[in-house]
Amino acid sequence: MSELEGERAEHIPVLLQAVLEALQPQPGGKYIDLTVGAAGHARGILERSSPSGRLLALDADAEAVRYARSALSDLGERAVVRQGFFDEVARLAAEAGFVPAQGIVADLGLSSRQLESAERGFSFQAPGPLDMRLDRDRQETTAADLVNNLSESELATIFYRYGEERRSRAVARAIVRRRPIHTTLELAEVVARAIGGPRGRIHPATRVFMALRIAVNDELGALERMLPQAVEILAPGGRLAVISFHSLEDRIVKDFMRQEAKGCVCPPEAPVCVCGREPRLRVLTRRPVEPSAEECARNPRSRSAKLRVAEKLPAHSS
Ligand SMILES: C[S@@+](CC[C@H](N)C(=O)[O-])C[C@H]1O[C@@H](n2cnc3c(N)ncnc32)[C@H](O)[C@@H]1O
């Protein structure tokens, strides 16, 4: 057993078969995994595209990159693993010779490894520093910086907007009274008191922790910047598959795919199109693909997953 195999939780890839059906990996194809994590989707794509398909695998997290390199090492040069944020994909893919690509997958959010690693600060159940950065070398601002330095109204806005937390103001007020707050458990306790008791099966701090993570890593901004780059570097007929885990992400993906399938961005009252924008995508999932009850039972993390897939149209010559 390698040192890496001995580490914590195994991450089970979500909607793996659906992603493979969407991308239809072929020998000789070039594919990009924007969120390699524990390399489950990456391995699936490389196995399906055997013997000559190649995959560029990105992750912002140095530990995920280290793990994925080791996990994919048996595939030699077919797997190219790089550390980077996915909103840099146009540059990273060009540098690695992966433009145009036949398929791109993004499996958003965090892996089980990250969530369960106390020292990363993502979990309200494990004692750790309030960090939450994906890339601890390139990012300066931690969750503790936000919690201890933002104003009460700025914190409330983050909890409301990114966590859809109904008691955002009460939570922000309680935090400001109690700070400085340095650890996950301190924050979880302050939030639980402000909210008052558990909410069904969900821990009361779930939404606040999610909101902070989204803010620390500018997750929604990164997604918005990544999507157009992914379309740009896809080959005609190439496919983009995105798995999201909450409604804010899914709305961004859905709206983007719809807009790219429509092309024209002229206001509806305009008598003729003046923008001249052509559709660039065909949406293949009118409704998002969701995991079966069996997958949810086997892998509870998959419960809220939604997969959307679109295909790049051939460019029109004008
Ligand atoms: C849900 S996991 C991916 C799991 C992977 N598909 C598998 O099968 O093991 C999401 C990964 O995306 C990475 N990630 C999140 N946001 C990112 C971003 N903006 N750029 C690059 N990687 C990111 C996280 O570090 C994490 O490793």
When comparing pLDDT for 197 and 72, which is higher? Answer: 72
pLDDT in tens, 147-197: 999 999 999 999 999 999 999 999 999 999 999 999 999 999 999 999 986
Q: In what order do the strands lie in the sheet with 234-244?
A: 79-83, 54-59, 30-33, 101-107, 234-244, 306-312, 281-283
Q: How confident is the model at residue 316 (pLDDT cuts 50, 70, 90)?
A: low
In the prediction, which pLDDT does 202 show? 81
In the prediction, which pLDDT does 3 show? 29
User: 185, 148 in Cβ contact below 8 A?
Assistant: no
Expressed in angstroms and rounded, the spacing between residue 39 Cα and the centre of ligand 1 is 9
Residue range 48-60: mean pLDDT, rounded:
98
pLDDT in tens, 95-152: 999 999 999 999 999 998 999 899 999 999 999 999 999 999 999 999 999 999 999 9
In the prediction, which pLDDT does 315 show? 82
pLDDT in tens, 85-104: 999 999 999 999 999 999 99
pLDDT for residue 6 is more than 80? no
pLDDT in tens, 239-260: 999 999 999 999 999 999 999 9
User: In the 3-class helix/strand/coil scheme, how is 42-57 assigned residue by residue?
Assistant: HHHHHHHCCCCCEEEE
Residue range 203-231: mean pLDDT, rounded:
97
The b-or-e profile of 74-102 (16+ CB within 10 A means b, else e) is: ebeeebbbbbbbbbbbbebbeebebbebb
pLDDT for residue 198 is more than 60? yes
In whole angstroms, give the CA distance from residue 172 to residue 20. Answer: 43
In the prediction, which pLDDT does 278 show? 94
With 0-12 / 13-18 / 19 or more C-beta atoms within 10 angstroms meaning exposed / middle / buried, residue 28 is: exposed
Residue range 5-34: mean pLDDT, rounded:
87
Residue in 20, 59, 243, 295 to alter for ligand 1 test, most ligand atoms within 8 A of Cβ: 59
In the prediction, which pLDDT does 200 show? 72
In the prediction, which pLDDT does 292 show? 97
Expressed in angstroms and rounded, the spacing between residue 108 Cα and the centre of ligand 1 is 6
Averaged pLDDT of the chain: 94
Type of residue found at 142: T
pLDDT for residue 54 is more than 50? yes
pLDDT in tens, 37-49: 999 999 999 999 9
Smallest CA separation from ligand 1 atom 9, residue? 38
In the prediction, which pLDDT does 201 show? 73
Percent of the chain with pLDDT over 70: 95
Residue in 4, 10, 34, 35 to alter for ligand 1 test, most ligand atoms within 8 A of Cβ: 35
Q: Which residue has the tokens 């990105």?
A: 58
